Amino acid sequence: MSDRETLKAELKKLSARAIQAKMDLHDLSEEVPVNWTSIMAVAQKAHDAYAELERKSHDLKALENT
């Protein structure tokens, strides 16, 4: 598998993970004030997922521009 194909496969997985993290954050927001103590952990998970997705997207763009 080429680097481009590998990155696209990774992006697909990361996108699914990021969407799930977003939904977890949304679900938590509907539960507040119950489970308010988990806000930071759930938000950090969503932040990390989207940050990694963005990094890999930039990597793919850079690879495609070379």
CATH of the domain at 40: 1.10.287.660
Confidence of residue 2 (pLDDT cuts 50, 70, 90): confident
Contact (CB, 8 A) for 50 and 21: yes
Residue type, 2: S
> Rounded to whole angstroms, how far apart are CA atoms 66 and 48?
27
Could you report the per-residue pLDDT of 4-57, keeping only the tens digit for each? 899 999 999 999 999 999 999 999 999 999 999 999 999 999 999 999 999 999
pTM here is 0.86
With a cut of 80, say whether residue 1 has pLDDT above it: no
pLDDT of 62: 92
Note down the domain range covering 31: 3-64
- If one counts the domains in the chain, the total is 1
